[in-house]
Chain A
Amino acid sequence: MVKDKNIEIENLSQTKDNKKILDNINLSIPINKVVCLVGPSGCGKTSLLRAISGLDNFSSGRISFDNKIISKPNYSVPTENRNIGLVFQESNLFPHLNVFKNVSFGSKKKKYKDIQKETFEILKKIGLPHYANVYPHQLSGGQKQLVAIARSLLTKPKLIMMDEPFANLDERLKNKIRDITLHLLQKTFTTALIITHDPDDAMFMGDFIAIMNNGKILQFDTPENIYNNPSSSFVARFFGETLSIKSKVNNKKAKTIFGPINITNSKNGKEIEIVFRSEAFNITKNKSKNRTKKIKSRIIAVRYISDNSYLHLDILNNSFKKHIHIKVPGKFIPPKNKICYINIGKKNFFVF
């Protein structure tokens, strides 16, 4: 799929206390692209990052940069010689050094003039050139994170890795900082691996997304493909709100409360799971002559959020009592407790 490989992780496994933390990980991080590694907490994202950076060892597999092996069991280039950048959740700026000294910490230049030039260049890029003499404790959370990123970028790393860089920031600040970060990475042509538990962050930042669970990479693809062609129900459920229904294949069809659904490539009697995104549901009138079945529901609450109406519905079916959410574009505010009908469209559901 990707030809310009520069960071290659092959069959990487790591065991700790008899538990497989990383299970046969294969990942190619393409050059100059941003890859987001996303997954629930405890799935092994940070372990993978520490293995790549050389801070932790692993039991089998290998890691190579530019076709040169830098790490395999019993052999490992020490972290300080790998030329990578690392940014943590807490910025970890050196508290006794000011912003200028922090950013220039990893500089390989000898002359002070060169260091100064280099440092101010990057400080300008993050919009903080006049903060050079300020100490970390005087910075806001977002500024600290930007300085930490600048500090890593100054060494022109082959790969910059960020571990939940935006998790400690509030929503508004986060949007701003991740925007600056994305453009900074693009401008400096930096390859990046960003760890996050937030699918929104991954969608926003990533050229590619790798989704991880229980120490395995489930899917590695572009954001569009991940969203539109999820490889498993876990991936489908991870991005956005979903409703999941279990059913059986019968005559290339599966029975659901929304009527039968065509299943082309499955054997009769196979247990399947159908995952509906909330975009799959439409609100219809009772009388409309649509092929799919209409389900009676009651409106519990309606909220109007940035020109979308957000409907909370209880499905009124004795055998299938569920609560679902539907986003309707524009202002659509029916009264509470009103009965309405929903059906499903042709898109936005997946069969596994």
Chain B
Amino acid sequence: MVNLNSFKDFFVNKSFNSWIFISLFITFFLSFPIISLIFNVLLNYNSDWNIVLNIEIWDYLFNSVCIVFFQSIFVVVFGVSSAWLITTYDFPFRKVVDLFLLLPLSIPPYIAAIAYGELFDYSSYFQIFVRENIPFLNDINFFNIRSLPGVIFIFTITLYPYVYIISRAAFSEISYTYNEIGKTLGLKQLKIFFKVFLPLAIFPITGGVILSILESLNDFGTVQYYGVDTFTTGIYKTWIGLGDINLAAQISIFFLFFIFIILFLQKRFLSNEKINLKTSSRKETSLLPSGNLKKIFLITFCLFPAILGFFIPFIFLLFNSIQALEIFVSKDTLINTFNTVLLATLVSFTIIFLSLIINYSARIKPTKINLFFNKISSLGYAIPGSIIAIGILVPFTFMDNFFINIFKNNFNLDINTFFTGSIFVLCFAYIVRFFTISQTNIESSFYRTSKNIDDAAKCLGKKSYFILFNIHIPLMSLSIFLSLILVFIEILKELSATLILRPFNFDTLAIQVYEYASEEKIIESTIPSLIIVVLCVIGIIFISRINDHLLKSGKR
């Protein structure tokens, strides 16, 4: 009897091990590009490195540091101030303004760059108006947007929502009683903000700033279009221009080092995880009332970033696309839209599936190794798309050459490349890069479900996969849906990895925008841009609805 039981038990235990095994596999899969990059640099050290190091890499570094520094300041000014006003004061159209403030997320920086590039062009109405009417500004070089400050401007207005979302959540979680205590101690509202709320929320806020920085470092379209060289353009140039993948890998590693320094600094100096926040969701009634003049000020102030980041580019796209309606119905556009949506759907479902497995595995076996997998697998978002692309390209090019040689030597056959330039490789890059988004969401929804729920179901005689499908997935269905949309939007906008990895004769909407824009066919480029933006806006409206719902039901 006992023997039979232990036999059975062996298999049951084995099923537990299989969860770990699958996690291990997924983690390896996700960290593969980085591992391959490191190995490549160690194995193929390229002496051309010195040339690049001497001349260009310091330019890349200077430009990237400038962008990171100024962008950080401006996104904080835009994002934190509007988040504070929205969570503290009551004014008309508050909810609408709140949604508007999120909308710049639907405009990829390169699309905003195209729009503002046209609007501030030498021959634009704006420049002509300024030159003719303001005497001391008639210099033709007045505000050249195709410059480093222009790039910083574009990144600020399109990326501040990352800071806005996070600080808004942080401010509304900090118990409102702190505000009341501050007042009874005789502090003015502004002083309460600087002395209580800002210090308490500093870690999440810097988290938001880091996210926006990672986005701008990932960007390729904007810096390329405005002719400001950064690491991303450097990597692209070395690969496409010089065709030197080893050198591109070396620059990537240097760039990665730069990113990890930023991440380390944030963790080291700004972490206040020790502070145990007394949190409570704030009720609508606790918003402060304001007078009529103040109301007008509040609305204008909060709308300002949204107007710059969304409405101006959006209206630009609308007006110009009307002139190019025939492209809208063209075969290319339809095929590209179909390609993009299909790709985004496929990848986002895969990502959700993988993150469910890796998180559930960590839940039923919370061993150190599983928790480590969890951490490693969510590094992808810190790594720019172009680096991931190079990291994937290196080993697959090697494998392709290997197969081509085998077929050539043994069967005397000329075959095409096998992996590089396939949809599979592109999907792989997307999964690595955007896995973090669903990972953090799914992880926190697992965390919110009491472990006793699992135990109760186990005692009722249910197996772990049954519990996953019948308890956890239904319970976190909203979070899953939210992650799906978030990943979907990111893939719609993604350009830098796609540009390197896209298959031959396969374009996404983002690629179409980029190609039109680089041929200076601005009007044509507005059509695919508009499709991306509209799809993203729909997604963002969904996201904000779901978030509100989660907030109300206390699940956030």
Question: Residues on A close to B: CB < 8 A?
Answer: 53, 55, 68-69, 75-86, 88, 90, 92, 94-96, 105-106, 108, 148, 151-152, 155, 157
Docked pose: A148 CA to B12 CA in angstroms:
27
Cross-chain contact of B461 among A83, A88, A148 (Cβ < 8 A) = A83
Q: Measured between C-beta atoms, what is the minimum distance from A164 to chain B in Å? A: 12
Q: Does B22 belong to the interface (CB within 8 Å)?
A: no
Closest 6 CB pairs of A and B: A106-B460, A86-B459, A79-B458, A92-B452, A88-B452, A96-B474
A226 to chain B, nearest CB (A): 29
Closest Cβ neighbor of B453 among chain A residues: A92
A68 touches B1 (CB 8 A): yes
Q: Is B6 an interface residue (CB 8 A)?
A: yes
Nearest B residue to A151 via CB reads B460
15 sample A-B contacts, Cβ–Cβ < 8 Å, listed by A number? A69-B2, A76-B9, A77-B9, A78-B12, A79-B455, A79-B459, A81-B461, A86-B456, A88-B455, A90-B450, A96-B471, A96-B474, A96-B475, A148-B456, A152-B460
Question: Of the candidates B1, B9, B461, B471, which one forms a contact with A80 in the assembled complex, judged by CB atoms under 8 Å apart?
Answer: B461
Is B460 within 8 A of A55, CB to CB? no
- Beyond A85-B460, A88-B455, A105-B460, list 13 extra A-B contacts (CB 8 Å): A53-B455, A68-B1, A69-B2, A75-B6, A75-B9, A79-B455, A79-B459, A80-B462, A82-B459, A94-B453, A95-B475, A105-B462, A152-B459
B505 within 8 A of A: no
Counting CB contacts under 8 A, is B463 at the interface?
Answer: yes
A residues near B458, Cβ cutoff 8 Å: 55, 78-80
Which residue among A53, A86, A108 has the maximum number of chain B CB atoms within 10 Å of its CB? A86
Residues of B within 8 A of A88 (CB): 452, 455-456
Q: Is the CB of B452 within 8 A of A106?
A: no
Distance to closest chain A CB from B327 (angstroms): 47
A78 to B464, CA, bound (A): 11
Report yes or no: B462 in contact with A106, Cβ–Cβ below 8 A: yes
- Whether A55 contacts B9 by the Cβ 8 Å rule is no
Q: Which residues of A are found within 8 Å of B2, using beta-carbon distances?
A: 69
B335 at the interface (CB under 8 A from A): no
Q: B5 near A53 (CB under 8 angstroms)?
A: no
Q: Mark B372-407, 1 if CB is under 8 A from A, else 0.
A: 000000000000000000000000000000000000
In the complex, chain A residues whose CB is within 8 Å of the CB of B5: 75, 77
| Nearest CB in chain A: distance from B75 CB, A | 38
In the bound complex, residues from chain A placing their C-beta under 8 Å from that of B471 are: 94, 96
Chain B nearest CB from A67 CB (Å) reads 10
Bound CA span A316–B320, Å? 98
Asked if B457 is at the interface (CB within 8 A of a chain A CB), the reply is yes
The residue from A76, A96, A155 contacting B460, defined by CB atoms under 8 A apart? A155
Question: Per DSSP, are chain B's interface residues mostly helix, strand or loop, or mixed?
Answer: helix
By a CB distance below 8 angstroms, the chain B residues around A77 are 5, 9
Q: Is the CB of B6 within 8 A of A155?
A: no
B470-490 residues with Cβ-Cβ distance < 8 A to A are 471, 474-475
Asked if B456 contacts A78 (CB within 8 A), the reply is no
Tell me the B4-22 residues at the A interface (CB within 8 Å).
Answer: 5-6, 9, 12
> A68-B1, A95-B475 given as contacts; is B459 within 8 A of A53 (CB)?
yes
> Given the complex of chains A and B, what is the CA–CA distance between A148 and B453 in angstroms?
11
> In the complex, what residue of chain A is closest to B476 when comparing beta carbons?
A96
B interface list, Cβ under 8 A from A: 1-2, 5-6, 9, 12, 450, 452-453, 455-463, 471, 474-475
* Chain B residues in 8 Å Cβ range of A78: 9, 12, 458
Known contacts A90-B450, A94-B471, A96-B475: A105-B9 contact under CB 8 Å: no
**Chain B proximity of A265: nearest CB distance (Å):** 46
CA distance A105 to B6 in the complex (A): 28
Q: How far is the CB of B363 from chain A (nearest CB, A)?
A: 13
Contact between A55 and B455, CB atoms less than 8 A apart: yes
- In the assembly, what is the distance between CA of A69 and CA of B4, in Å? 12
A85 and B9 CA atoms in complex are apart in Å by 20
Taking CB atoms, residues of chain A closer than 8 Å to B474 are 96
Residue of B nearest to A69 (CB): B2
Bound Cα distance from A68 to B1, whole angstroms: 9
Report the Cα distance A206→B395, complex, angstroms. 68
Point out the residues of chain B lying under 8 angstroms from A95, CB to CB. 475
Out of A68, A75, A84, name the residue touching B459 (CB < 8 Å).
A84
In this complex, the member of B6, B459, B461 whose beta carbon has the largest number of chain A beta carbons within 10 angstroms is B459
Given contacts A86-B456, A88-B456, contact A106 B450 (CB under 8 A): no
Q: Which residues of B contact A90 (CB under 8 A)?
A: 450, 452
Q: Which residues of A contact B6 (CB under 8 A)?
A: 75
The answer to whether residues A155 and B461 also contact, given A69-B2, A78-B9, A86-B456 and a CB cut-off of 8 A, is: yes
Contacts of B1 in A (CB 8 A): 68
| Contact yes or no, A92 B9, CB < 8 A | no
Question: B453 contacts which chain A residues (CB < 8 A)?
Answer: 92, 94
Nearest CB of chain A from residue B407's CB, rounded to whole Å: 50
- Chain B residue contacts of A106, Cβ below 8 A: 459-462
Docked-complex contact B461 and A108, CB < 8 angstroms = yes
- Nearest B residue to A50 via CB reads B455
Minimum CB distance partner of B477 in chain A: A96
For A81, what are the chain B residues with a Cβ–Cβ distance below 8 Å?
A: 12, 461
Q: Give the nearest-CB partner of A54 in chain B.
A: B458
Question: CA–CA, A96 to B453, complex, Å?
Answer: 12
Task: Give the residue of B452, B457, B463 whose beta carbon is less than 8 angstroms from that of A105.
Answer: B457
Q: Which residue of B lies closest to A86 (CB)?
A: B459
Closest A-chain residue to B463, C-beta based?
A80
Q: Which residue of A lies closest to B464 (CB)?
A: A80
- Complex: how many Å from CA A151 to CA B459? 10
How many Å lie between the Cα of A21 and that of B429 in the bound state?
48
Smallest beta-carbon distance B396→chain A, Å:
42
Q: Which residue of A lies closest to B460 (CB)?
A: A106
**Max chain B CB contacts within 10 Å: which of A76, A79, A85?**
A79
Which of chain B's residues has its CB closest to A70's CB?
B5
| Least CB distance, B117 to chain A, in whole angstroms | 50
Contacts of B461 in A (CB 8 A): 80-81, 83, 106, 108, 155
Q: Report B3 CB to chain A, min CB distance, Å.
A: 11
Report the bound CA distance from A155 to B459 in whole Å: 10
Distance to closest chain B CB from A139 (angstroms): 16
CB distance from A304 to the nearest CB of B (A): 41
Minimum distance in angstroms from B190 CB to a CB of chain A = 40
CA distance A144 to B450 in the complex (A): 16
Closest partner residue, chain B, to A68 (CB atom): B1
User: In the complex, A105 Cα to B453 Cα: how many Å?
Assistant: 12
Complex: A78 Cα to B9 Cα, angstroms: 7
Taken together as a complex, chains A and B put the C-alpha atoms of A75 and B2 apart, in Å, by: 10
CA distance A157 to B460 in the complex (A): 9
- List residues of chain B with CB within 8 A of the CB of A68: 1
Give CA–CA (A337, B66) in the complex, Å. Answer: 81
CB of B368 to closest CB in A, whole Å: 15
Q: A75 to chain B: which residues have CB within 8 Å?
A: 5-6, 9
Whether the pair B9, A86 counts as a contact (CB closer than 8 A) is: no
Residue of A nearest to B473 (CB): A96
Contacts of B452 in A (CB 8 A): 88, 90, 92
Which B residues touch A79, using CB under 8 A?
455, 458-459
